[in-house]
Structure 1
Amino acid sequence: MARDLKPPKNATSEPLATGKAAGSVAARDASSSSEIADFVAKVKALGPATGPGRGRLLFAMDATMSRAPTWDMALALQSEMFQAVKEIGSLEVQLMYFRGAGEARASRWVSNADALAGLMRQVACHGGYTQIGKVLTHARRESETKRISALVYVGDAVEEQIDDLAGRAGELALLGVPAFLFQEGDDPHATRAFAEIARLTKGAACRFGPGSAAELRDLLTAVAVYAAGGEKALQALLAKPGSAGARRLLGQMKR
């Protein structure tokens, strides 16, 4: 089964668990808006990473039917993140999504944010089960070839066994790839799974709802800047006043 947008690559099929939670409700934002805004502004001010090479960000998303009600909003925010990546100029991005009966696709690694954002807007939601295990395995394989700076995942549910996902996250952690997971809604099983993946990979997990669009956009942008600038960029903020947002993110990454 192909998992690529362009050009085709090989992919493997894996058994999926059943039992998707029906729908989701708007979740309380775990971070203060002022802290997020302050954190993002200061990380952006640091500018892109210096030195040889580019940062590499794998951006994965759940495109199953339960996300359809807020899909257009999410695409708009994620497109804005890619525009921020374009401004950074030192980051390569790969898009991955899953949906339907085992369909999972990934694009080439590209530095053209406009093309990638346009490609993402062509994706529509189809019914199906989550395939987060495939995302983690794909991230590991890609990073074994050439190290990934960060994995971003946006979704609302987890239908796989947490222990299985934790094992795959552990493999990713051995390669030093942090996972940043953004949960739409407040499904408790997804909350536990995302928190465990974030803990194992020294990344972070955050919930969002329809009322926290601005926070999601800013956090996605901040992670993109982190992927380009690395943890040193975040560490530099700790010596400056008003660094609560950066301190919180770094705190999660080091658990």
Structure 2
Amino acid sequence: MGNKDPIARTTGGVPRQGKVSADVAAFVSKVAAVARPDAAQDGRLLFALDATMSRQPTWDLACSLQAEMFKAIPKEAALQVQLLYFRGFGECRASKWVADASDLARLMTGIDCRGGNTQIGKVFAHARTEHGKRRINAVVYVGDAIEESVDELAEKAGQLGLFNCPIFLFQEGRDSRVEAAFRDFARLTEGAYARFDAYAPQELAALLRAVAAYASGGRDLLKVQGSGPAQALLAQLPR
């Protein structure tokens, strides 16, 4: 799209929202109703996205759904989110930590997608650095490709696992190599993997709410029964 200063843009390319499956909707409503246990600090979630050119539709989708991450958090709880994205020729940037959906929306709508290769290694390295400063309760990564050494990425994911920093990886598309790698990264960090369809945005919204609830209150906030995509994601978490 060419170099230009970040400006707010519309999300007209977002697919029309479909009806979320009843079981996912019921699950998320139960999550939102569960009281969060006392915590000394706010939960922290690192929200990382591939912002290369092929990701434009998903970036628009994420812009429209980012507020969903805050909806599963009870009023007495709090969640801080940091946006991390990569694009172009070696560009990888992180925002400040924010605790409000509108602040995150302003950050996201000021960014456009550009051509470039994946930089997942930088995402994992940044997560480790931030986690060393103060615990990150969950990392969310959304992407569809890997153009780096899977073995090197697995080593970095394993380091995050040693520091109890789980990664939740959401894949768009059906590249089997990407799926195998994403599942391995999730296993190494005791996180979880899920595939999503950009044309079923409410399914992704439900998953984002579930991960945000986990980041805010841990498994105690998710001790409810359900089925569908959200339950399949949460079933991968360690007991």
TM over 0.5: yes
Aligned residues: 219
Letter in 1 for 2:238: K
- For 1:163 and 1:180, locate their aligned partners in 2 and report how far apart those are by CA, in whole Å: 18
Identify the residue that residue 108 of structure 2 maps to in structure 1. 120
126-135 or 113-122, which deviates more: 113-122
Q: After superposition, what is the alpha-carbon deviation per residue over 1:179-215, rounded to whole angstroms, capped at 9, x for unaligned?
A: 1111111122221111111111111111112332110
- Tell me the secondary structure at the aligned position of residue 158 of structure 1: coil
Q: Give 5+ residue unaligned stretches, structure 1.
A: 1-31
Equivalent pair of 1:226/1:233 in contact (CA under 8 Å): yes
- For 2:58 and 2:232, locate their aligned partners in 1 and report how far apart those are by CA, in whole Å: 27
- 2:82 corresponds to which of 91, 94, 108: 94
Equivalent pair of 1:60/1:153 in contact (CA under 8 Å): yes
Corresponding position: 1:37 with 2:21? no
Identify the residue that residue 65 of structure 1 maps to in structure 2. 53
Identical-pair percentage? 53
1:145-164 aligned at under 5 Å gives the runs 145-164=133-152
Equivalent pair of 1:83/1:113 in contact (CA under 8 Å): no
Change (3 A) 1:216 1:134: same
Change (3 A) 1:138 1:221: same
Q: Give 5+ residue unaligned stretches, structure 2.
A: 1-19
1:105-254 aligned at under 5 Å gives the runs 105-234=93-222, 236-237=223-224, 242-244=225-227, 248-254=232-238
- For 1:86 and 1:123, locate their aligned partners in 2 and report how far apart those are by CA, in whole Å: 30
144-153 or 36-45, which deviates more: 36-45
Change (3 A) 1:201 1:35: farther
146-155 or 48-57, which deviates more: 48-57
TM-score (norm 2): 0.83
- 2:42 corresponds to which of 51, 54, 58: 54
Shift of 1:247: 5.6
- For 1:68 and 1:247, locate their aligned partners in 2 and report how far apart those are by CA, in whole Å: 28
- For 2:71 and 2:102, locate their aligned partners in 1 and report how far apart those are by CA, in whole Å: 7
- Tell me the secondary structure at the aligned position of residue 253 of structure 1: coil
Letter in 2 for 1:104: C
Equivalent pair of 2:144/2:178 in contact (CA under 8 Å): yes
Q: After superposition, what is the alpha-carbon deviation per residue over 1:23-76, rounded to whole angstroms, capped at 9, x for unaligned?
A: xxxxxxxxx934432321221111444231111111100000011244322321
Root mean square deviation of aligned Cα: 2.2
- Tell me the secondary structure at the aligned position of residue 168 of structure 2: strand
Letter in 1 for 2:148: E
Shift of 1:82: 4.7
- For 2:76 and 2:170, locate their aligned partners in 1 and report how far apart those are by CA, in whole Å: 22
TM-score (norm 1): 0.78
- For 2:86 and 2:75, locate their aligned partners in 1 and report how far apart those are by CA, in whole Å: 28
Equivalent pair of 2:32/2:72 in contact (CA under 8 Å): no
- For 2:161 and 2:44, locate their aligned partners in 1 and report how far apart those are by CA, in whole Å: 16
Q: After superposition, what is the alpha-carbon deviation per residue over 1:200-241, rounded to whole angstroms, capped at 9, x for unaligned?
A: 11111111123321100111011111111112222x32xxxx
Change (3 A) 1:136 1:119: same
